[in-house]
Amino acid sequence: MPLRLAGLAVLTVALAGCAATAPPVPEAGFDAEAVEAGVLATLDAQVEAWNDGSVRGFMDGYARTDTLTFLSGGTVRNGWEEALYGYVRGYPDAEAMGQLTFSDLTVHPLSARRALAWGRWRLQRAGDAPGEGPVGLFTLLLASTPDGWRVVHDHTSSE
């Protein structure tokens, strides 16, 4: 028991020294601008597909793996197919999907093959007053794959 407490104390002291707003420290020697451009292109394609009413097109931005994790609404979905089914159940048609926008988007390239992105999302649906509708935050871990930049971990919340 004392070892756990000592370890916890060391961890607490280490975390206390971290600035809450400090971005992750990337590895050296890669083209961060190219990583950021690739990530933004993937996210732009997702918004375009969503706004065209295509859940499957939106899901093209996710890695088609069993290790994809998607956390939202108190639920953890593992794997691309489970994430797809979650979206299809929640957004069965273009009307339910509405129009998606991302804002306050921040991309932190971590290496030539990994990046962290976060921002705000908003859905504008028929009947919503301008500037109203569901909103929330997201944090994504993306990986460079043979198919381009793909989300491998998604934590999305709503207000």
Would residue 64 count as lying in a domain? yes
Domain that residue 119 falls in: 30-129
Please give the average per-residue pLDDT across 67-74, as a whole number. Answer: 96
Q: Enter the pTM of the model.
A: 0.81
Residue 103 lies in a domain: yes
Instruction: Tell me how far apart the alpha carbons of residues 107 and 40 are, in angstroms, rounded to a whole number.
Output: 8
The two structure tokens encoding residue 118: 């976060």
Is residue 69 within 8 Å of residue 154, measured between CB atoms? yes
In a domain, 153, yes or no: no
119-131, pLDDT tens digit by residue?
A: 999 999 998 998 8
Q: Please determine, for residue 152, whether its predicted confidence score (pLDDT) is greater than 70.
A: yes
Answer whether residue 54 is part of any domain. yes
Could you tell me if 108 and 26 are in contact, meaning their C-beta atoms sit under 8 angstroms apart? yes
Q: Two tokens at 20?
A: 């809450």
Assign residue 119 the CATH number of its domain. 3.10.450.50
Selection from 61, 50, 121 nearest residue 88 by Cα = 50
- Cα–Cα distance list, 156 to 82, 120, 141, 153, 159 (Å): 15, 9, 12, 10, 10
Assess if residue 120 is contained within a domain. Answer: yes
For residue 15, being part of any structural domain is answered with no
Our count of domains for the chain comes to 1
In a domain, 22, yes or no: no
